[in-house]
Amino acid sequence: MSSQQYADGGLRLDWPAGYDRSDSDDREPYPGNLSVSHKQAFESIVEELERWGKTDVQIETASQHYANDPNIPHKSDDPDDVGVVAYYRDLEARADEQSAIACDSWETQRENARAIALWVRRIRLADRCGVETARDIDEVAQLPPADEEAIAAPPASSGDELDQEPHEILEVSPGASEDVIRAAARRKSANVHPDGEDGDVQEYKRIQKAKEAMQTS
């Protein structure tokens, strides 16, 4: 999936088929507290989806994206279409299909990006609590507003389904920072990614669980 270019050089966001669009006149400022920067809002989408066990996250907007960080659009761009779409794959459910979560309800890309991340966090935590819903989460186009910036995650299980301590699996110190944890998990995941030649689904999941355990401890 990618944004399409107009003849005049402008970009058009390729919105997922079957997802409703919000009228630009109906957009309002996001009602919650978004105490994150433009870059952090988009990074948080990737972080929340990866914590949820999703892979191959690709974020699309109607802006140019940085060459060295393709999931972050240029902050200086001011597109008419402020919608944000996050594409990903689910190795457990539909590994061969690309799913999407999209939002264009709010006035800026930062607000729409953060709304997606907060919504994913809610669903991810509901999954951990064993909550089920009759609605297919992959078919959501308009995300509901969040009335708070953060939700406290329940304590991670100390060693569920892990044969080593999380920091040992990631080969980092027990008190490693978030940046070190993410970098280590990304490096180790790249070697066993299921789409690679030496892919190992179980090891990939083991690394993701170790990362989540360290980030929520």
108-136 confidence digits (pLDDT tens): 999 999 989 988 988 888 776 665 554 44
Which has the closest alpha carbon to 121: 97, 149, 98? 149
- Non-local (6+) Cβ contacts of 151 within 8 A are 118, 121, 122, 125
Start and end residues for every CATH 1.10.287.110 domain found in the chain: 166-215
Q: What is the mean pLDDT of residues 49-77?
A: 93
Which has the closest alpha carbon to 168: 212, 207, 203? 207
- Which architecture does CATH list for 166-215? Orthogonal Bundle (1.10)
> Model confidence at 196, in pLDDT bands (50, 70, 90)?
low
Residue 197 has pLDDT above 80, yes or no: no
Which has the closest alpha carbon to 75: 116, 49, 41? 41
Q: pLDDT over 90 for what percent of the chain?
A: 24
| pTM for this predicted structure | 0.58
Q: Strands of the chain (E only): list them.
A: 4-5, 11-12, 54-60, 65-66, 69-73, 84-90, 94-103
Token reading at 52: 């949820």
Residue 182 has pLDDT above 50, yes or no: yes
Residue 44 has pLDDT above 90, yes or no: yes
